């Protein structure tokens, strides 16, 4: 019996219907945009991920409502509209925009998912589909929720920046924050202040009381520094050994004096006994501070060097005091409790 020939247009229509149904039932959240940016397909997995029903989005350009509180382009939109140069400003991380228009691109971002009331970290892939003449037929976007992995990664990264003994930032964390805040200060034109804090006569404390009490002493100092924080963007770190650092973004010399006084007052209130060389029988700290307006030719290392020099002067001036270095001035201010 001869096989019946099926017209090519019927084969095409059948293949097209199959492709649409395949996308509809994919377990991977997927949506498809037409060349004019309207939604052609919004599959069931995408409905589950976003809480936005297909009937409310197909045929419209309102797909952003599944991911954001206010209108902004999704990854597929950038390909449709030829705006891939905007990737840097819209996504946490992304692939090379130079190859986006031809092969598609991968990006990652936090999305607020307003219909579900949750924040998810999504891995997003979007790729164009062309006809035989090179005309854009559609752009397909797929999504994966990798929030658990991202939060775990972020937690591990934070742990790597925290000092295990005191719970404040470690030296690596300090270096990263110092670089970041220096860059911000240079961009904003605001001053930046650094305080360096050293526990006075700590070696004699350790030798007399032993390392366990020495560790507890450092934890107490770290707590006092934490209580001295007056603004949410102030940063406390353990610089090394018994030395701590306090970054004060946007603070001037007067602000440095306020915080330094507060640190030493809190240490006096802690009243940690130190009968083997402590000043007035208690643990005290010396503080050196520097305030600068970052210049292009300078670096954060200059700020650290100035604060460290001020700390050295505080210790050589009898300890338990604050010495401030100020830019364009050779004079220093000493304060004793």
Residues pairing with 334 in the sheet = 323
Tokens, residue 58 = 């197909």
User: Has 242 been annotated as catalytic?
Assistant: yes
DSSP label at 70? Answer: S
Note whether 85 and 101 are within 8 A (CB). no
Please tell me the distance from the alpha carbon of residue 264 to that of residue 83, in angstroms, as a whole number: 54
Count helices and strands (H / E) in the chain. 11, 12
**C-alpha 121, offset from chain centre:** 14
Residue of 47, 242, 269, 327 with catalytic role: 242
Compute the distance between CA of residue 333 and CA of residue 337 in angstroms, rounded to an integer: 13
Burial level of 161, CB count in 10 A (0-12/13-18/19+)? middle
β-strands 285-292, 321-326: how paired? parallel
Round to whole Å and give the CA distance between 53 and 179.
46
Hey, which residues are catalytic here?
242
């Amino acid at each position: 019996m001869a096989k019946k020939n099926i017209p090519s247009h019927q084969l095409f229509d059948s293949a097209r219907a199959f492709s649409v149904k395949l996308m509809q039932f994919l377990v991977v959240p997927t949506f498809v945009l037409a060349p004019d940016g309207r939604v052609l397909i919004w599959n069931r997995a995408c409905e589950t991920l976003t809480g936005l029903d297909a009937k409310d989005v197909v045929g419209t350009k309102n797909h952003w409502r599944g991911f954001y509180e206010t209108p902004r382009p999704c990854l597929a939109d950038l390909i449709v509209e030829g705006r891939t140069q905007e990737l840097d400003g819209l996504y946490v991380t992304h692939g090379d925009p130079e190859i986006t228009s031809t092969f598609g691109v991968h990006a990652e971002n936090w999305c607020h998912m307003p219909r579900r009331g949750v924040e998810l970290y999504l891995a997003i892939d979007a790729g164009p589909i062309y006809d035989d003449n090179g005309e854009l037929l559609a752009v397909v976007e797929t999504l994966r929720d990798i929030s658990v992995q991202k939060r775990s990664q972020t937690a591990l990264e934070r742990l790597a920046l925290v000092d295990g003994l005191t719970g404040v930032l470690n030296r690596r964390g300090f270096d990263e924050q110092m670089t970041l805040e220096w860059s911000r200060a240079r961009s904003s034109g605001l001053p930046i202040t650094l305080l360096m804090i050293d526990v006075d006569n700590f070696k004699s404390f350790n030798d007399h009381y032993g390392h366990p009490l020495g560790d507890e002493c450092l934890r107490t100092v770290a707590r006092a520094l934490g209580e001295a924080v007056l603004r949410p963007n102030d940063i406390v770190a353990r610089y090394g050994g018994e030395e701590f650092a306090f970054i004060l973004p946007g603070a001037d010399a007067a602000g440095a004096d306020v915080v330094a006084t507060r640190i030493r007052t809190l240490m006096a209130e802690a009243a940690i006994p130190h009968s083997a060389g402590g000043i007035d029988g208690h643990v005290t700290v010396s503080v050196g501070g520097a305030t600068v307006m970052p210049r292009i030719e300078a670096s954060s290392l200059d700020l650290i060097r100035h604060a460290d020099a001020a700390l050295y002067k505080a210790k050589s001036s009898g300890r338990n005091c604050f010495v401030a270095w100020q830019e364009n001035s050779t004079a220093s201010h000493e304060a004793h409790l």
